[in-house]
Structure 1
Amino acid sequence: MKKHRDGSWSEKTKSPLEPHMSVPWLIGKRLKERPNDVCVEVKSRFGLYWHPITAAEFENDIVRVARGLIGLGLQPGESIAILAATSYEWSLIDMAALSAGLVVVPIYESDSAEQVRWILEDSEVRLVVADSAAHVELVESVRTDHLLPTILIDDDGMGAIYEAGISIPAQAVAERRAALGASSLATIIYTSGTTGRPKGTELTHGNLVFSTLSVLQTEKEIIDRPGSRVLLFLPLAHIMARIVSIYALAGHGRMGHVPNTQSLISDLASFKPTALLVVPRVLEKIYNAAEAKSGGGKKLKIFRWAARVAVENSEKTHHGLIFRVKRAIAKKLVWSKLTAILGENCHYAVSAGAPLGKRLGHIYRGIGLTVIEAFGLTETTGASTANRPNAFVMGTVGQPIPGSDVKVAEDGEVLLRGPHVMRGYHNNPEATHEAIDEQGWFHSGDVGTLDHHGFLTITGRKKDLIVTAGGKNVAPAVLEDKLTGHPLISQVVVVGDKRPFVGALITLDAQMLPGWLASHGLASMTVAEAAKDPHVLASLQRGIDRTNKQVSRAESIRKFGILSGEFTQENGLLTPSLKVKRAAVLSRYSEQLEELYRDTRS
């Protein structure tokens, strides 16, 4: 790792990227070198078995679908959209479309009709592939003149694609692949964003190839070794899951798909992953659920004691026979329950989207699951910095990936540069010029710090910084990240801009509430009743008091209010990557916000 005169850091090792490189070229390397490698496993109808698919078999499927897309009349450079849950078919159509020289436009399942209309029109989509009748109906409701009939991903729909390609020779696919290069446009991903109309991020084949080659260098132990098994359950419409799927296809491991987290525990048990791709909330839920199930009284005390031992094990602050005995007891009584959920083979989780928090990171590492935190955006093709098994600092998002640069501007904004940075926003040169400066630095909008070894720590979003009436700058993410570790808290928004003090708006976790009440010897109650219960309020206050100890008096939370309901994608308060849409929350709950500050004397 090298520090430059301008304060930027870069990885000394350069990741090769040449003009001829494309995604089909990248996954074709595995086919050429190891055609009998199993690269994908597909879940059986009842979820008890995973069917293996070799690189050669996957290639046959790709070419067959690509021939069909060509047979439907789609020309190189034209766009197709995928509106579907995470599945083998999603990845297959993605790779086939890229092989046919098409541009893939993912659409989130949670997108509104107006958002879908905008995406289809702005990127001039010619064909939409969907996985449900409801999605087909949604597309038809906003149909544009140049759109072909929507194809449903079922036996009939896939059959129609295959039939369209009967007269198209495989050579046609080979010719389209040969015409691709690093500068060819591969995908337009519309950033969900927390405000405004989505912007279409243009990523080239070179962006995707560079990111893959760079990350496979540094995270080889996690995703690029024989025996690596990665289970994808986050939306493939999001760059994080999408790029990890390409990592898996280009490396030595295997990939599995499930559409959501509804059956996650059984899916983990049957697939037996060695690594997971998660957002922090998934890990928080697993831990909080385990704590709630431990019960109250002595059992709860034992659980929390075991958690402290896990932290000590991760920090390696204790050694010797006595600690080894403590560790063995903690493992038998508590840790084994958590590792049983994750699977005995799962030793890594890659986490992005929001900070996990040091304590929870230490707990997981202490029981045997190292959480690799990474940082990146759609505009940087996923990870721009990442911790590594051999270069790891808890609480940071790691160092820049090979061949890229990172620095922090004078105002604290994190700037990123390299071949992984998008070529621009689709049909939006003004926004592109605002995001990428003349030196090629992409302005991320995130605020952070770099330590003396080039490890990056993200402290919040630049636009979210709160300036209190007293002139104190407060980064709400620092407080929010600590509070969401409380078992009763589902979401929290820290407020206080131009106000006399910092406050918090909280939603309660309806799934965790029953277990928490039982473990504390309290009667069952609704979320609305819990919001007024003195025991619940006292527990939340204790959590806030613990959080306040980590910040100055001026930054501490003085009051909190409990909101009805939760923040979800469906009600427009969460992005598909589960980030809170702060402006939308403050607008919807403006009365509750005013109530928080109605009597400032308190």
Structure 2
Amino acid sequence: MEVDALTILLTIAIAAVLAFVKLNKSEPDIHPLLLDQQASVAPLRGEGESAIHRAKSVPAGSSLAKVPLERIKTLDDVWQNGLAANSTGRCLMYMLQNQFSYIGESYEHVDRRIGGFGTGFITETKLKPRTETPVGIYAPYSQESFVAQQAFYRYGFVAVPIHDLRSSELLIEIVNQTKMKAIVVAQKALPLLLQSLKDCSSIKTIFVATIYISEEQKKIAAQYGARILKFAEVEYNGSLGALDAVKPEPSDIAMINYNTKSTSLSKGVVLTHANLVAAMTGFSGSLPGAKKFTSKDRLLSHFTNGDVIGTWMTSAMVMAGGSIVFPSGLMKNVLHDSQATTPTIFASTPIILEKIHEALDATYGTGSSFKKAYASKLALLDAGRVSTTSLWDFIGLGEVRSRLGGKVRLVVTTNPTKPETLKYIRAAMGIHVISTYGRTETSGIVTSRNMFDYSNDAHLGAPVGCNEIKLLDDPERRYTSGDQPNPRGEILVRGPNVMKGYYKKPNATATSIDSDGWFHTGEWGSFNANGTLELLGKKKKVKSEKAPSSPVQEEEESKE
């Protein structure tokens, strides 16, 4: 049987039309009705307060999410799960000093490093494990800080991240309040630490992430009774005979974090292993099944290891056995870092995402093909669809997507991020975005915005599964639970992610956490009809502070 040319051409034409229709289908990614009610609302409420809102996965009467699996209750358990899931797979990616290329290390290799540094640390400091001993980490953007933090989890020490590498005032205050005897320091932070040693008399051992320590630096440290040791040498010496792990309990303190919106820098937030595992569980539970982290994923995060958001974000990736990228730390290299390491998960602050948007729009935004492609993708977005398979993704937007490495499937950020930037990421780059809201006192998370909610509504999303939320009437502000159309009041949060308290400040703790376990955030909010939370402002004036820590600094700042 012969097939003539006309039949062949008709078949090709029909196939092309069907492919076009398939690639440009406008069915929404999620049925709109599923966005109409995003929280589980308790049927009853107390006097002077709103009904309690929870994640739909944990309705009233059920237990809040605490752990991802029964065997994973501490951050060391999280590490062990990742190690078992992908022992020979890549764990860390980072730059060597003074080079512009990345190297990788497997989970097995990093596990030996963790045991080695932990053992070397105990040998050099003579500090006893599981005695809730605070240890400083003044190196927020490095693979050394990751190894150190994991070692502290394994051997029962308390990590105290110090975020601002330029503030001697904050450094001195934290050191003196915690009486820390040892500290891990980045090379660029060492000069400021040495200048501050006269006011930090408790520090006796300094572990520096560097290949060179001058005699002058050793002399200055010795003058104030401290020793300087190279991180790598301590790690190597310890690896020759690593000690057995000293397993922490879920109730043990994992971190004291000073990156908080409190009225005083001296309020260190005490977070236990249980707190941080619950936060990780809450975040992971907010991801749809197909979007959850896997061992094939690679996280490039602009939140630091020490930042509480960075802690549960990194933990979620480690638990899955995925890999973690430590970026170079310069704003001008943000796109290069992503292209060089091809992450699948890109976690960043609103400011950095907005700068990326500005840079890409300046490069591609004026082209006629880009304008047509972007307009078409915006129409798809308005129809409820984020796509990487439309014809426009191949014709006009492929290069834009490649600027983040070409493999990013999810961007994670915090509120508030400009709606124009979120639209650009979803439409021009075809990447889903999930944004979170939280406080350091709640382990960095309270709500998470549904990744399929592409509206411009200025809400924070619904509660994550590890906590519940209610609003308390504020007569002074005239915010009440009876307000129409939506209840308003102070945002209160309760759950296993809520801090143990403020470090050595029982009165401040009692003021912030009431007898029923509700943390009073000091922020006003309202509940929308669909169960999402909207932020209305701060109840009281708080001390100005920076956005969550980020390793990406302007180039001029990095040279300071």
Name the counterpart of 1:461.
Answer: 538
Name the counterpart of 2:11.
Answer: none
Please tell me the residue identity of whatever aligns with 1:375.
Y
Contact 2:116 2:237 survives alignment (8 Å): no
Question: In the alignment, which of 203, 214, 236 is matched to residue 147 of structure 1?
Answer: 203
Query: Aligned to 1:577, what secondary structure does the other structure show?
Result: coil
CA distance in 1, matches of 2:373, 2:534: 28
Contact 2:66 2:274 survives alignment (8 Å): no
Question: Please, what is the CA RMSD of the aligned residues?
Answer: 3.3
1:281 aligns with 2:354: no
Question: In the alignment, which of 407, 412, 415 is matched to residue 470 of structure 2?
Answer: 407
The alignment's TM-score, normalised by the length of structure 1, stands at 0.69
Map 1:406-555 to 2 at 5 A. 406-410=469-473, 411=479, 412-463=489-540
Name the counterpart of 1:363.
Answer: 424
Against the structure 1 CA distance between its residues 243 and 424, is the aligned structure 2 distance closer, same or farther, given a 3 Å change threshold? same
Q: Deviations over 1:479-520 (max 9, x none)?
A: xxxxxxxxxxxxxxxxxxxxxxxxxxxxxxxxxxxxxxxxxx
1:265 aligns with 2:335: yes
Name the counterpart of 1:28.
Answer: 80
> What is the CA distance between 1:125 and its match in structure 2?
0.9
Question: In the alignment, which of 74, 85, 105 is matched to residue 127 of structure 2?
Answer: 74
Q: Identity, % of aligned pairs?
A: 22
Name the counterpart of 1:469.
Answer: none
CA distance in 1, matches of 2:141, 2:425: 26
Question: In the alignment, which of 33, 41, 65 is matched to residue 3 of structure 1?
Answer: 41
1:375 aligns with 2:431: no
The structure with higher relative contact order (CA 8 Å, sep 6+) is 2
Name the counterpart of 2:546.
Answer: 575
CA distance in 2, matches of 1:116, 1:428: 19
1:348 aligns with 2:417: no
Contact 1:372 1:386 survives alignment (8 Å): yes
Contact 1:223 1:229 survives alignment (8 Å): no
Please tell me the residue identity of whatever aligns with 2:196.
S
Q: Structure 1: which 5+ residue stretches go unaligned?
A: 466-571, 580-602
Q: Deviations over 1:275-318 (max 9, x none)?
A: 111111222112222333357xxx37876665544432212179
Please tell me the residue identity of whatever aligns with 2:470.
K
Name the counterpart of 2:298.
Answer: 229
Map 1:96-107 to 2 at 5 A. 96-107=151-162
Query: Aligned to 1:346, what secondary structure does the other structure show?
Result: coil
Query: Aligned to 1:170, what secondary structure does the other structure show?
Result: coil
> What is the CA distance between 1:391 and its match in structure 2?
6.9
Against the structure 1 CA distance between its residues 399 and 134, is the aligned structure 2 distance closer, same or farther, given a 3 Å change threshold? closer
Name the counterpart of 2:23.
Answer: none
Contact 1:102 1:186 survives alignment (8 Å): yes
Q: Deviations over 1:1-54 (max 9, x none)?
A: 421122111133443447982211221123234422322223355766543322
> What is the CA distance between 1:229 and its match in structure 2?
1.1
The alignment's TM-score, normalised by the length of structure 2, stands at 0.74
1:386 aligns with 2:448: yes
CA distance in 1, matches of 2:410, 2:354: 15
Name the counterpart of 1:157.
Answer: 230
Contact 1:70 1:168 survives alignment (8 Å): no
Name the counterpart of 1:316.
Answer: 383
Q: Structure 2: which 5+ residue stretches go unaligned?
A: 1-38, 46-50, 59-63, 212-228, 474-478, 480-488, 551-560
Please tell me the residue identity of whatever aligns with 1:145.
S
Contact 2:466 2:497 survives alignment (8 Å): no
- Between 1:89-98 and 1:129-138, the stretch displaced more is 129-138
Aligned residues: 459
Question: In the alignment, which of 132, 148, 153 is matched to residue 93 of structure 1?
Answer: 148
Name the counterpart of 1:183.
Answer: 251
> What is the CA distance between 1:209 and its match in structure 2?
1.5
